[in-house]
Amino acid sequence: MGTNGAGSANKLTGMNRRTNKNRPVSTNRLTRKDGRLITNRRGVLLAAIFCAAASLAFVAAADAQRRDARTKSPHAAQSPPAARAGGEARRVAVTFDDLPMTGDGGRSSGEQVAENLKKIAETLKANDVPAIGFVNENKLEAPGQREARTDALRAWLDAGFDLGNHTYSHRSFYRTPLAAFEQEVIKGEPVTKQLLAERGKSLRYFRHPFLNTGRTLADKRAFEKFLAARGYEVAPVTVDNSEWVFAQAYSDAIRGGDDAKRRRLAAEYAPYMETMFEFYERLSRDLFKREIPQVLLVHANQLNGDHFAEIVSMLKARGYSFITLDEALADPAYRSSDGYVGDVGVSWLQRWRVTRGQAFRPEPPLPEYARRFDADIRGASFKTRAER
Ligand SMILES: [Zn+2]
């Protein structure tokens, strides 16, 4: 889908050095010359796909980290034992965005949506992985599918997982006025809120679509106040990634009957995600002198329905244990100052870096095979650019 890759016109120009928390940091720094970065004409689909990430967290020891840095194998059996530092192991909170389902171009039936989310839940349960899913309630409104899609969320909750608000229709806060964006939050609440209430739970977490936190620092701060007043906590992401490129190409391969493409994408998924974990582990060590509990962003897509178990295995091999978002956010690192404002949604680790006056660190590229799909799915590669 989409058109040109986002990369060519991207500017990851040099970060300025403003560190005053009351001033925006890196505004427009990641902005395309044409001012259209992540969203495209089919922004709704991409939005659903791209929203930033989830959460996996860990804390690790320096020597174990050095060993990990030398270990490129995605295979658990060959990987080092759990990284430890000062008795702390790596920890990660897993978050799924765009429930009940994304990456399928909206083509799945209600039953397929329910089945896919059930498969993700079964993988999580089998591995004792807690998780929270962030809902776009407009995705419940496919004609004739409302009940089946809502049932998918019920089953997710009944399997022991949590739900949060990801706005009604996944608009970018960068391109949506504050008042309208606040309405997107309110409009995204009723079904999720009721399902949680029926189970004695409340709607507590908010995840920004595209990880975009607003066009100006004033909007960002005003929205944070709005969220707090409605009882929300922001769900940050530290392990941002382009898993959605794999997922969309994977669903396309299935739909097109291209089994070789499907298998190739599946085979490259976990190694790619391991590369991203290595990157954010290093970023955490450079920033905090330790590996903080990470928050992983992935999506409720077919790729994870079929292959999230491989991500869990990769993480176990890297020494991760799985924690709730609550547990991850209890780490003081999550109270770091975030003055980042920009067109591009990025990891909170990058935000904290930039707020401290350090440069945005270009992120690892997609593997060669997956990059060809980025030509059709714009927006994935711009964070890997180092044009300065
Ligand atoms: Zn999203």
The DSSP line for 7-70 is STT---PPP-----TTS-BSTTTT--TTS--S--TTHHHHHHHHS--B-------HHHHHHHHH
In eight-state DSSP terms, residue 289 is S
Ligand 1 centre to CA of 47 (Å) is 6
Mean pLDDT to the nearest integer, 155-166: 98
Q: Which pLDDT value is given to residue 370?
A: 86
Ligand 1 centre to CA of 211 (Å) is 8
Ligand 1 centre to CA of 284 (Å) is 24
Q: pLDDT band for 381, please (50, 70, 90 cuts).
A: low
Q: Which pLDDT value is given to residue 158?
A: 98
- Helix (H, G, I), strand (E, B), or coil: what is residue 164? strand
Ligand 1 centre to CA of 358 (Å) is 27
Q: pLDDT band for 378, please (50, 70, 90 cuts).
A: low
Q: Which pLDDT value is given to residue 307?
A: 98
The mean pLDDT value of the chain amounts to 82
1, two tokens: 């889908």
Q: Which pLDDT value is given to residue 23?
A: 52
Which of left, alpha, beta for 349 (phi over 0: left; psi -120 to 50: alpha)? alpha
Ligand 1 centre to CA of 334 (Å) is 21
Ligand 1 centre to CA of 154 (Å) is 20
Cα 380 from Cα 245, distance rounded (Å): 7
In eight-state DSSP terms, residue 163 is E
Q: pLDDT band for 20, please (50, 70, 90 cuts).
A: very low
In eight-state DSSP terms, residue 78 is G
- Helix (H, G, I), strand (E, B), or coil: what is residue 202? coil
In eight-state DSSP terms, residue 377 is S
- The C-alpha R_g of the chain, in whole angstroms, comes to 19
In eight-state DSSP terms, residue 358 is P
- Tens digit of pLDDT for each residue in 313-371? 999 999 999 999 999 999 999 999 999 999 999 999 999 999 999 999 999 988 888 88
- Burial code (b: 16+ CB inside 10 Å, e: under 16) for 159-173 equals eebbbbbbbbbbbbb
Phi, psi for residue 175 in degrees, rounded to 5: -110, 10
Strand partners, 25: 340
Q: Which pLDDT value is given to residue 40?
A: 37
Mean pLDDT to the nearest integer, 268-283: 98
Q: Which pLDDT value is given to residue 5?
A: 32
Ligand 1 centre to CA of 51 (Å) is 3
* CATH class, range 43-358: alpha beta
Strand partners, 263: none
Ligand 1 centre to CA of 79 (Å) is 32
How far is residue 120 from each of residues 96, 136, 152, 209, measured CA to CA in Å? Answer: 10, 18, 11, 21
pLDDT above 50 (res 2): no
pLDDT above 80 (res 86): no
Q: Where are the alpha helices (DSSP H) in the chain?
A: 43-50, 62-70, 110-126, 146-158, 178-187, 190-197, 217-229, 243-255, 259-288, 302-317, 325-329, 348-355, 368-374
Ligand 1 centre to CA of 247 (Å) is 13
